[in-house]
Amino acid sequence: MKRLKTYVIVPTYNEKENLGQLIPQLLGSPSLVHVIIVDDNSPDGTGELADLMAADSPRVHVIHRPGKLGLGTAYLAGFKAALQTDADLIITMDADFSHHPRYLPDLVAKAESGCDLVIGSRYVPGGATLECTLPRKLLSWGANAFARVMLGLRAHDTTAGFRCYRREVLASIPLDQIVANGYSFLIEMLYLVQRRDWRVCEVPIVFQNRQQGVSKISRTEIYKALQTVLRLFWKRWARRPR
């Protein structure tokens, strides 16, 4: 069987310590990997480090944006760049090792077995969350339960950013019409994928809280996520068969 060509998109904002370790591990992964770093002019010099790594390896690509424009549009910029290549699989992951590169082969194998979107999931047997504070765990659990009930999402980890999409899945979605930008972009994306009847699967991951750098999730992101779910719920309701 032809090996599927894999591109990994890593959005970064102030991830210099993490990126220096992550990229060599990705390039050494048994799943043949190209990396697209999407950096938003990080004040800590992540973008410059990314350029150095790109100069060193033809498999590292960098997209620079002028300022912090949000996680959702960072993914979109990465998707569009990946779709211009011959990528078969497009993976997204955090730069902070919460999404460990050791799981890449599991994601790829599941996609090869016929899944269109594979989620690296904390909430299936074998998955776990380590070293996160209780409020953070409750927030994630609550957001998931709410999104699943309101939108009829079947996946258990609907807010996970560790995902592997077949290129056909991304090509089928009107990317420019996605409204959510922050973290709730992930919920909207999953909703659009499920609505198109793509096969969504999950593989367990142990999610470890970041060891270096700081989280960029903020209180406004929580309100925006709530807003996103309510907007999609309304859209779903308006379209229900009568």
Positive/negative CA dihedral, 99, 104, 105, 110: positive
Nearest-CB residue for Mg ion: 94
- Cα distance between residue 32 and residue 224, in whole Å: 36
* Token output for 74: 């960072």
**d(C-alpha 17, C-alpha 75), whole Å:** 21
Shortest gap between Cβ of 78 and ligand GDP (angstroms)? 9
Listed in sequence order, the residues at least 6 apart from 164 whose beta carbon sits closer than 8 Å to its beta carbon are 6, 89, 90, 91, 107, 108, 110, 111, 117, 118, 120
Of residues 40, 116, 188, 202, which one binds ligand GDP by CB under 6 A?
A: 40
* Structure tokens given for 210: 């970041």
Based on CB atoms, which residue is closest to ligand GDP, 70 or 101? 70
Report the residue number, 15 or 116, with the smaller CB distance to ligand GDP. Answer: 15
> Where is 7: in which H helix or E strand?
strand 6-12
Choosing from 39, 40, 94, 157, the residue that interacts with Mg ion (CB under 5 A) is 94
Q: What is the largest distance, in Å, between two alpha-carbon atoms of the chain?
A: 58
Q: Does 215 bind ligand GDP (CB under 6 A)?
A: yes
74 binds ligand GDP (CB under 6 A): yes
Q: Is the dihedral of CA 216, 71, 131, 104 positive or negative?
A: negative
Encoded tokens for 13: 């904002």
Q: How many residues bind ligand GDP (CB under 6 A)?
A: 20
Which residue, 74 or 193, has its beta carbon nearer to ligand GDP?
Answer: 74
* Sole window of 5-13, 51-59, 89-97, 175-183 interacting with Mg ion (rule: CB under 5 A): 89-97
**CB of 31 or CB of 181, closer to ligand GDP:** 181
The site string for ligand GDP over 89-108 (x = CB under 6 A, - otherwise) reads: -----xxx-x----------
Binding ligand GDP by CB under 6 A: which of 68, 156, 199, 236?
Answer: 68
Q: Residue 206 belongs to what H/E stretch? A: strand 206-208
Q: Is 98 an interacting residue with respect to Mg ion (CB under 5 A)?
A: yes
Question: Measured at the alpha carbon of residue 236, what is the angle toward residues 234 and 237, in degrees to the nearest 5?
Answer: 65
Nearer to ligand GDP, 96 or 157 (CB): 96
d(CA 120, CA 110): 10
Question: Judged by CB under 5 A, does residue 15 bind Mg ion?
Answer: no
Asked whether position 41 contacts ligand GDP by CB under 6 A, the answer is: no
Binding of ligand GDP at residue 5 (CB under 6 A)? no
Q: What is the contact surface with ligand GDP in residues (CB under 6 A)?
A: 11-13, 15, 38-40, 68-71, 74, 94-96, 98, 210, 215-217
